[in-house]
């Protein structure tokens, strides 16, 4: 009997009137867990009953604790007939099972009914007494923490990243059971809600077991999905990344001790492969200095105080980094990754080493999209696999085997793709399905990458990773140290010199003479040592340390393909045949749009293909950026097939001009002004003449036309040949993408490169649109146009609605498309609008371009916002956090004068920003848009009697200007709502609007009851909407998830701890202003 | 292609105040879109009428969902469905309960019944306020009336607490409730020149001086601020002596005339009309025991006092002078024993008349 669950029903309020005669309600409550049910007394004649019940105690297995939700049903007592149900509350008690999450659930929960929606609220108290169970054959996995966040959570550090975990659970869908013919829709929906809740619990428990087996204690980047297969069943599946996380406790010294394993283990992992490696490199004295990470690693981790000790901070950071850096020259060894010709064998070696670390893993996949510095060595590119399956061919639909095999197949394919790219791992990995009748498309995608193997070994990932994460949430006094850590990690990892973190990940992992696909390679524009591709596509977030020029922007490729209606195998074949073409076209579109914006890399790429009865939809979203390490993209050239025709030529040249103008405009818009460097690199497959031509064609315009013709024979992705109407369409669609209104930026990743000064003003929103295609016989072009317009209009609508937040950036702008019925297209988006401070931004931009200044920049971090890390990391090479290090850094990097200049510039920039910040932080409610002052006010009024806790929601893993102090547990909720009075509820829009609002309300209530004040990494993973207007009916299923957290405002934070840095902060500010 | 469904839901509910006003004013979505277009909301945004329409629809839906909560504003603060910052809640409530003075003028003093509600389309046609808005305003009056009807304690305070209204608006509602309860006639042609604020002021005077609650006796009686104090009305009958007793009337007149002589241009008219005017005011007082006469209180004031004075071209200053001396002189009359009642009566009458004496 390893656990005791206790629940107390306190009171209700705003209950609906259940007795028309008295306009009152005689309410009582049933509390159910597993098969045990308790009841409260009836509280007669009240809409605000005060039950104040005893503690109901359930003695249960911890297995049940994980699987089952606590079910609370509110009923109206009726003497003569059956009691009427008012509604239900399901409480997931999983957060109470981990010692580090919530300890009690207490608060007002909306009482939810699948037909009536929210009907009043109930106040409940829940506690769990857990007895330790050390049985190694146990079936439960209590205490394993789950995070939706796809990076190492903010107040943890990753001691170890174990790798991929997946699980899949199948059950019969209650909606398709025989009993469904006789029971009410309400009963059926409730059965479904309950079942899915149970299945998610079971799934989480099973994944937890796998994590424990691997020796981990947490799952990060947990992604759970439902497949409503219909007749063949209901599948709940999840993937995630198993990690060993250590909690960082501010001010406590127990950090390194929390995991006694860490230090010894890291010593132990001086693996043979490492021993071999050292002599090899030391023989090569010409190589820049570098350090094999593992031995070094142990030094600072065992000797240095914990990262979180504000008072000791300065001394600590310098000591630890000093240790590292002073060691650096002593060791005098070559780096793992190196220059030119040597690169081949060395790379192979590194790969071997990495492989040994990864080979015991079946799938070296990581669902993370954001990594500790040094984790990512190189990125190969996007790998994806799709497979079309027939659900009616499943032999044993009730068993998971068949689906397991399907996914296994796909994952193997992904793995082999990654291998082909010379990579041994896949990061930013995700899986999805789309189902239409009996056809199911399984998709998986990720980014092939080379990882630093040390992160996968015991104790290797001590401070570096988690600290870097922290720098994103810049608490006063801590940030300095994080910078130091970042610095340290990059140097001890040994890639400091050969591949600076700002560009190292761009370098190709594959063999240049044996490339898996045709690509144009040049020497890295940043370090000029290694080869980089001309464009880079990835599914991950932009690494914080990446060097970026200008700002980024959302890029979408949209595609619609008609398909004949068919059944079974014929249908599946037709779909399989269409898929590669769709992928190719989406890719082409992305490439063209990227060029049009004068950018050279895509991050957060997400390609969704959705299948309907008579069409396929493809939507690719990504954030385009200009990576400084990659070559400048060429312009787009149009070539005609019939050059003799004069008017045709003219048409082409006007089009060309429009394109060139757009490119020029975009360069201004996104502030992309790469240094006009002259190419002198040898060994590039492209002739020099041509490359410089590409350069010019972007900067100048029409007068280049004659020269352009010389080269358009080349099959660059950016030469568009107008030989058929398709191409014309392509160009048209390229140009019809409406520009964003002034003051707006957008991206689908965590943060926007180039924007630093977020205010605390943010607004999370969900928008859903369904379009009906009225004319049945549409061509592909017609459909494409409609689909493009639909997405564009939705974006325009968002910009308009959020105009009060200007200047702002729409982050995590991910669209989900579906074809719910024939002729219907559904687009859903959940994103967050975050406003930033224009003034500071401008100053920062300016300072960035200037170059002068003083030192002590470690301090201004304390005043910086979350965007800070992105900004500072843009100039990555070595952002020193204190004088000693900065000296060390640049002395050790002898051939990096450009970097040194940047460093200077950066200092100036940060100082300037610091100063501006002080002024504005002293008066927060300054002339800023109302949004900001509004949000400030709302929270300010929180303690003084506002009865409802304000809960912020965001799809991102952080909240700007705040620090997450605690993760309370995962929120994973599934709701069904239906109506038989659609018109009365305001039609489909009214129905869905209130349902989404209700879902938000329930998420907020659960978070508040856990003691939290925000949900991060929130996502709406499923929104299945069905309607039958003729019957006046509609039904909708929504699945949402996220991490409940407690955050503190940066300003509060500043006030509480006795920080030495405070005084210094102000002086820095003063200095900066001069 | 047609948009079948289009929703936009935010975590922190933001409402455009302009659209909210349009909704309150009873504009249809299409009309609201037109107004917004003309207002230039699209300037600077690259947005089309479609976008505007979608936005307006979203907001209208939000308002409709909020409306239920606005009916009991206290709920708005602790409901969970919408996360609305407190100062926005205040705005929502205040605007929802705000009313058009032209509209309120039409229903002031009428029974807040279904019958009156049925006639709202006439009111709408007459005032130019949309029927939808008329209904909202009427329902607000009725809702407030119903809630405070059953409550004990001071009227304004009750309204403020139960509907979270500002002091000013709570006082206006108190006036509306007071008028509806006593069914004062305000619709006669002669009263048309009076604004709602005139009446609201008078109502405030009556509430604070003539009701049960006015005595400062906070026993928390029901309707203490809504009903006029019966005893006081009974006592008012005693004032009749001022006009029935010839000596007293003459004496009163001579005292007033002595005091006024040379101080006003309208002295002659005042002297000539004294008896008529005095009879008018005292008769009004004497008749107040009769509920039907109470209803005519304002029309009587206008007919019996204000109109004669106005035709004699008294200035506002004249009026103040006259009423001051008229009230005070009665104290000097040694046979007149009802000083307290007289003061309580004349205090209100004086301030009401002064408020009502305008064009």
Give DSSP secondary structure letters for A962-1023: EEEEEEEEEEEEEEEEEES-TTTTTHHHHHHHHHHHHHHHHHHHHHHHTT-SEEEEEEEEEE
Best to test chain B binding among A993, A1007, A1029 (most B CBs inside 10 Å): A993
* Residue B116 main-chain phi, psi, to 5 deg: -60, -40
B86 min Cα distance to partner chain A (Å): 6
| Closest residue of chain B to A739, computed from CA coordinates | B46
| Closest residue of chain B to A769, computed from CA coordinates | B6
CB A268 within 8 A of CB A458: yes
**Spatial CB neighbours of A431, under 8 Å, sequence gap ≥ 6:** A223, A225, A237, A239, A407, A410, A442, A443, A444
Q: What does pLDDT average to over chain A?
A: 71
A89 or A714, which is more confident: A89
CB B316 within 8 A of CB B358: yes
The pLDDT score that the predictor gives to residue A237 is: 93
Residues of A in contact with B9 (CB under 8 A): 765-767, 993, 996-997, 1000
Average pLDDT of the segment spanning A813-819? 91
Least confident of A179-188, A606-615, A724-733, A995-1004: A724-733
A993 or A858, which is more confident: A993
Beta bridge partners of B182: none
The pLDDT score that the predictor gives to residue A985 is: 87
A555 pLDDT above the threshold of 70? yes
Q: What percent of chain B has pLDDT over 70?
A: 96
CB A753 within 8 A of CB A812: no
The pLDDT score that the predictor gives to residue A939 is: 35
A383 min Cα distance to partner chain B (Å): 34
Whether A796 contacts chain B with CB within 8 A: yes
In tens, the pLDDT along A52-62 reads: 999 999 988 87
Answer yes or no: do A771 and B87 touch at CB < 8 A: no
Answer yes or no: do B4 and A988 touch at CB < 8 A: yes
B218 min Cα distance to partner chain A (Å): 29
B64 pLDDT above the threshold of 50? yes
Residues of A in contact with B146 (CB under 8 A): none
In tens, the pLDDT along A211-232 reads: 988 888 899 999 999 898 888 8
Residues of B in contact with A739 (CB under 8 A): 46
Rounded distance between C-alpha atoms, residue B201 and residue B355, angstroms: 8
In tens, the pLDDT along A461-515 reads: 443 333 333 333 333 333 333 333 333 333 333 343 445 677 778 888 877 766 6
The pLDDT score that the predictor gives to residue A733 is: 64
Answer yes or no: do A989 and B7 touch at CB < 8 A: yes
Calculate ∠ Cα A1059-A1062-A1068, nearest 5°: 145
B231: tokens are 């005893």
Whether A793 contacts chain B with CB within 8 A: yes
In tens, the pLDDT along B209-225 reads: 888 776 665 555 666 67
Give the C-alpha distances (Å, rounded to integers) separating A635 from A87, A657, A719, A914, A979.
60, 11, 8, 38, 53
pTM of the prediction?
0.79
The pLDDT score that the predictor gives to residue A736 is: 65
Answer yes or no: do A765 and B10 touch at CB < 8 A: yes
Residues of A in contact with B12 (CB under 8 A): 763, 935, 938, 950, 952
Average pLDDT of the segment spanning A1016-1034? 90
Residues of B in contact with A742 (CB under 8 A): 44
A716 pLDDT above the threshold of 50? no
Taking any CB pair shorter than 8 Å as contact, residues of chain B touching chain A are 1-12, 14, 44-48, 50-52, 54-55, 57-58, 61-62, 64-65, 75, 77-83, 85-88
Whether A769 contacts chain B with CB within 8 A: yes
Give me the residue from A741, A946, A1005 closest to B80, CB to CB: A1005
In tens, the pLDDT along A962-988 reads: 889 889 999 999 999 999 999 888 899
A478: tokens are 């801590």
Interface of A with B in 709-768 (CB under 8 A): 738-739, 741-742, 763-768
The pLDDT score that the predictor gives to residue A499 is: 59
Q: What does pLDDT average to over chain B?
A: 87
A948 min Cα distance to partner chain B (Å): 6
The pLDDT score that the predictor gives to residue A457 is: 59
Confidence class of residue A148 from pLDDT cuts 50, 70 and 90?
Answer: very high
The pLDDT score that the predictor gives to residue A906 is: 37
Q: What percent of chain B has pLDDT over 90?
A: 33
Give ipTM to 2 decimals: 0.88
| Closest residue of chain B to A783, computed from CA coordinates | B1
Confidence class of residue A675 from pLDDT cuts 50, 70 and 90?
Answer: low
In tens, the pLDDT along A571-583 reads: 999 999 999 889 9
B66 min Cα distance to partner chain A (Å): 11
Least confident of A96-100, A521-525, B34-38, B72-76: A96-100
Q: Which helix (H) or strand (E) holds A958?
A: none
Answer yes or no: do B61 and A993 touch at CB < 8 A: yes
In tens, the pLDDT along A45-82 reads: 999 999 999 999 998 887 888 888 999 999 999 878 78
- Ranked by mean pLDDT, the top range of A267-271, A477-481, B146-150, B201-205 is B201-205
Best to test chain A binding among B3, B11, B41 (most A CBs inside 10 Å): B11
Radius of gyration of the CA atoms of chain A, in A: 29
Q: Which residue has the tokens 């170059």?
A: A851
Rounded distance between C-alpha atoms, residue A416 and residue B219, angstroms: 87
Answer yes or no: do A786 and B6 touch at CB < 8 A: no
Interface of A with B in 818-877 (CB under 8 A): 824, 826
Return the biggest CA–CA distance within chain A: 94
How are beta strands A719-722 and A637-640 bridged, if at all? parallel
The pLDDT score that the predictor gives to residue A525 is: 81
- Ranked by mean pLDDT, the top range of A152-156, A354-358, B164-168 is B164-168
The pLDDT score that the predictor gives to residue A852 is: 35
> Sign of the C-alpha dihedral, residues B67, B71, B77, B81?
negative
Average pLDDT of the segment spanning A129-133? 71
The pLDDT score that the predictor gives to residue B134 is: 94
Rounded distance between C-alpha atoms, residue A718 and residue A704, angstroms: 16
CB B186 within 8 A of CB B194: yes
Give me the residue from A934, A951, A989 closest to B57, CB to CB: A989
In tens, the pLDDT along B171-186 reads: 999 999 989 988 888 8
A899 pLDDT above the threshold of 70? no
* Residue A123 main-chain phi, psi, to 5 deg: -100, 120
Rounded distance between C-alpha atoms, residue A166 and residue A157, angstroms: 23
Residues of A in contact with B80 (CB under 8 A): 108, 110, 118, 121, 948, 1001, 1004-1005
**Residue A1015: HSE in the Cβ half-sphere, 13 Å Cα cutoff:** 31
Confidence class of residue A888 from pLDDT cuts 50, 70 and 90?
Answer: very low
In tens, the pLDDT along B313-341 reads: 888 888 888 899 888 888 888 778 888 88
The pLDDT score that the predictor gives to residue B218 is: 56
The pLDDT score that the predictor gives to residue A135 is: 55
Answer yes or no: do A767 and B9 touch at CB < 8 A: yes
A771 min Cα distance to partner chain B (Å): 5
A921 pLDDT above the threshold of 60? no
Best to test chain A binding among B33, B60, B85, B150 (most A CBs inside 10 Å): B85
In tens, the pLDDT along B250-297 reads: 888 888 888 888 888 878 888 888 888 888 888 888 888 888 888 889
Answer yes or no: do A763 and B12 touch at CB < 8 A: yes
Answer yes or no: do B9 and A997 touch at CB < 8 A: yes
Cis before residue A807, ω within 30 degrees of 0? yes
CB B309 within 8 A of CB B249: no
Answer yes or no: do A121 and B10 touch at CB < 8 A: no
A897 pLDDT above the threshold of 60? no
Residues of A in contact with B81 (CB under 8 A): 110, 118, 997-998, 1001
A639 min Cα distance to partner chain B (Å): 32
Q: What percent of chain A has pLDDT over 70?
A: 64
A959 or A645, which is more confident: A959
């Amino acid at each position: 009997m390893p656990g005791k669950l206790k629940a107390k029903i306190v009171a209700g309020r705003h209950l609906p009137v259940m007795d028309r005669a008295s306009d009152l309600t005689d309410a009582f409550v049933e509390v159910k867990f597993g098969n045990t049910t308790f009841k409260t007394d009836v509280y007669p004649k009240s809409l605000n009953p005060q039950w104040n019940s005893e503690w109901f105690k359930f003695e249960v297995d911890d297995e049940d604790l994980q699987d089952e939700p606590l079910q609370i049903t509110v009923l109206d007592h009726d003497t003569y007939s059956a009691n009427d149900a008012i509604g239900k509350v399901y409480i997931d008690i999983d957060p109470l099972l981990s010692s580090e999450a919530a300890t009690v659930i207490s608060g007002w929960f909306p009482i939810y009914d699948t037909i009536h929606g929210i009907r009043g609220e109930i106040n409940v108290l829940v506690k769990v007494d857990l007895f330790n169970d050390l049985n190694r054959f146990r079936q439960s996995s209590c205490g394993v923490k789950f995070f939706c966040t796809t990076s190492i959570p903010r107040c943890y550090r990753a001691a170890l990243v174990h790798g991929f975990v997946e699980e899949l659970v199948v059950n019969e869908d209650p909606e398709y059971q025989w009993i469904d013919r006789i029971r009410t829709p309400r009963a059926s929906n409730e059965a479904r809600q309950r079942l899915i809740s149970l299945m998610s619990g079971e799934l989480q428990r099973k994944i937890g077991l796998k994590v424990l087996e691997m020796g981990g204690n947490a799952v990060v980047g947990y992604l759970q999905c439902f497949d409503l297969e219909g007749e063949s069943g209901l599948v709940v599946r999840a993937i995630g990344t198993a990690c060993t996380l250590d909690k960082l406790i501010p001010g406590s010294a127990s950090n390194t001790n929390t995991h006694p394993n860490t230090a010894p283990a890291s010593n132990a992992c001086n693996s043979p492969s490492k021993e071999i490696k050292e002599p090899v490199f030391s023989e090569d004295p010409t190589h820049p200095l570098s350090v094999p990470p593992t031995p070094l690693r142990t030094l600072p981790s065992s000797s240095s105080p914990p990262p979180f000790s504000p008072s000791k901070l300065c001394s600590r950071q310098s000591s630890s980094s000093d240790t590292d850096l002073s060691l650096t020259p002593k060791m005098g060894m070559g780096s793992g990754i190196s220059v030119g010709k040597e690169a081949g064998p060395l790379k192979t070696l590194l790969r071997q080493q990495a492989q040994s670390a990864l080979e015991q893993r079946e799938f070296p996949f990581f669902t993370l999209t954001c990594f500790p510095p040094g984790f990512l060595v190189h990125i190969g590119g996007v790998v994806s696999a799709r497979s079309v399956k027939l659900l009616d061919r499943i032999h044993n639909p009730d068993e998971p085997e068949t689906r397991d095999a399907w996914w296994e197949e796909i994952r193997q394919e992904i793995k082999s793709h990654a291998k082909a790219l010379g990579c041994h791992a896949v990061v930013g990995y995700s899986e999805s399905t789309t189902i239409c009748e009996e056809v199911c498309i399984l998709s998986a995608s990720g980014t092939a990458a080379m990882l630093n193997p040390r992160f996968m070994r015991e104790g290797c990932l001590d401070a570096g990773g988690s600290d870097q994460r922290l720098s994103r949430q810049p608490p006063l006094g801590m940030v300095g140290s994080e910078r130091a850590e970042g610095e340290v990690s990059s140097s001890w990892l040994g890639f400091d010199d050969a591949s600076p973190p700002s560009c190292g990940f761009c370098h190709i992992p594959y063999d240049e003479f044996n490339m898996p696909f045709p690509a144009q390679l040049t020497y890295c524009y940043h370090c000029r040592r290694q080869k980089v591709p001309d464009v880079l596509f990835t599914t991950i977030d932009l690494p914080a340390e990446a060097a970026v020029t200008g700002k980024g922007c959302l890029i979408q490729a949209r595609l619609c393909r008609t398909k004949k209606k068919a059944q079974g195998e014929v249908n599946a074949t037709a779909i399989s045949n269409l898929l590669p073409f769709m992928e190719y076209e989406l890719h082409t579109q992305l490439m063209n749009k990227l060029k049009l914006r004068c950018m050279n890399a895509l991050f957060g790429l997400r390609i969704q293909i959705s299948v309907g009865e008579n069409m396929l939809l493809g939507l690719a979203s990504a954030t385009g950026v200009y990576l400084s390490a990659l070559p400048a993209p060429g312009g787009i050239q149009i070539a005609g097939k019939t050059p003799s025709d004069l008017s045709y030529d003219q048409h082409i040249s006007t089009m060309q001009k429009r394109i060139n103008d757009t490119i020029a405009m975009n360069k201004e818009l996104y502030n992309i002004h790469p240094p006009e460097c002259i190419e002198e690199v040898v060994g590039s497959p492209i002739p020099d003449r041509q490359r410089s031509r590409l350069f010019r064609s972007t900067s100048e315009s029409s007068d280049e036309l004659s020269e352009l013709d010389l080269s358009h024979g080349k099959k660059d992705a950016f030469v568009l040949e107008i030989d058929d109407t398709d191409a014309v369409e392509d160009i048209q669609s390229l140009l019809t993408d409406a520009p964003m209104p002034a003051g707006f930026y957008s991206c689908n990743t965590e943060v926007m490169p180039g924007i630093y000064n977020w205010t605390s003003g943010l607004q999370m929103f969900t928008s859903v649109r369904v379009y009906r295609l009225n004319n049945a016989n549409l061509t592909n072009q017609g459909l494409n146009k409609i689909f493009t317009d639909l997405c564009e209009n939705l974006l325009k609508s968002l910009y308009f609605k959020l105009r009060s937040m200007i200047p702002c950036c729409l982050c995590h702008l991910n669209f989900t498309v579906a074809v719910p019925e024939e002729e219907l297209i559904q687009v859903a988006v959940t994103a967050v609008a975050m406003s930033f401070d224009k003034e500071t931004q401008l100053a920062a931009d300016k300072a960035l371009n200037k170059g002068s200044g003083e030192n002590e920049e470690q301090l201004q971090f304390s005043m910086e916002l979350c965007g800070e890390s992105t900004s500072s990391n843009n100039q990555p090479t070595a952002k020193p956090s204190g004088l000693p290090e900065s000296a060390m850094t640049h002395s050790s990097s002898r051939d990096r004068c450009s970097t040194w200049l940047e460093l200077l510039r950066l200092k100036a920039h940060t100082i300037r920003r610091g100063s501006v910040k002080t002024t504005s932080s002293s008066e927060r409610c300054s002339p800023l848009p109302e949004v900001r002052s509004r949000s400030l006010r709302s929270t300010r009024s929180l303690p003084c009697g506002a009865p409802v806790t304000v809960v912020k929601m965001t799809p991102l893993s952080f909240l700007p200007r705040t620090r997450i102090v605690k993760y309370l547990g995962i929120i994973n909720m599934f709701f069904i709502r239906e109506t038989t009075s659609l018109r009365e509820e305001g039609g489909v829009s009214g129905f869905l609007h209130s349902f989404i609002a209700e879902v938000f309300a329930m998420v907020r209530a659960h978070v508040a009851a856990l003691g939290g004040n925000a949900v991060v990494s929130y996502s709406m993973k499923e929104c299945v909407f069905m309607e039958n207007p003729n019957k006046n009916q509609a039904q909708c299923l929504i699945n949402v998830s996220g991490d409940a957290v407690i955050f503190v405002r940066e300003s509060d934070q500043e006030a509480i701890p006795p920080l030495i840095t405070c005084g210094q902060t102000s002086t820095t500010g003063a200095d900066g202003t001069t | 292609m047609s948009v079948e469904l289009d929703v936009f839901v935010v975590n922190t509910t933001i409402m455009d105040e302009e659209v909210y006003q349009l909704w309150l004013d009873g504009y249809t979505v299409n009309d609201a879109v037109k107004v917004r277009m003309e207002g230039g909301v699209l300037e600077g945004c690259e947005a089309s009428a479609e976008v505007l329409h979608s936005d307006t629809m979203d907001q209208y839906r939000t308002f409709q969902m909020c409306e239920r909560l606005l009916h009991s504003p206290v709920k708005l603060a602790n409901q969970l469905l919408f996360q609305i910052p407190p100062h926005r809640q205040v705005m929502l409530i205040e605007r929802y309960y705000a009313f058009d003075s032209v509209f309120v003028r039409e229903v002031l003093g009428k029974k807040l019944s279904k019958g009156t509600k049925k006639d709202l389309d006439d009111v709408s046609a007459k005032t130019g306020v949309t029927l939808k808005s008329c209904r909202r305003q009427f329902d607000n009056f009725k809702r407030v009336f119903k809630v405070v009807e059953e409550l004990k304690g001071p009227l304004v305070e009750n309204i403020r607490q139960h509907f979270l209204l500002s002091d000013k608006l709570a006082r206006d509602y108190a006036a509306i409730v007071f008028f509806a309860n006593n069914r004062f006639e305000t619709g006669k042609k002669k009263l048309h020149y009076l604004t709602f604020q005139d009446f609201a002021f008078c109502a405030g005077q009556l509430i604070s001086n003539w009701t049960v609650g006015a005595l400062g006796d906070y026993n928390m009686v029901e309707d203490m601020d809504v009903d006029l104090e019966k005893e006081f009305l009974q006592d008012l009958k005693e004032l009749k002596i001022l006009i029935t007793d010839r000596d007293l009337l003459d004496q009163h007149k001579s005292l007033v005339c002595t005091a006024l002589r040379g101080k006003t241009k309208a002295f002659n008219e005042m002297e000539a009309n004294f008896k008529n005017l005095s009879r008018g005011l005292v008769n009004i007082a004497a008749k107040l025991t009769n509920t039907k006469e109470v209803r005519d209180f304002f029309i009587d004031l206008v007919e019996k006092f204000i109109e004669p004075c106005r035709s004699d071209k008294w200035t506002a200053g004249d009026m103040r002078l006259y009423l001051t001396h008229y009230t005070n002189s009665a104290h000097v009359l040694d046979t007149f024993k009802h000083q307290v009642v007289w003061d309580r009566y004349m205090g209100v009458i004086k301030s009401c008349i002064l408020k009502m004496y305008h064009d």
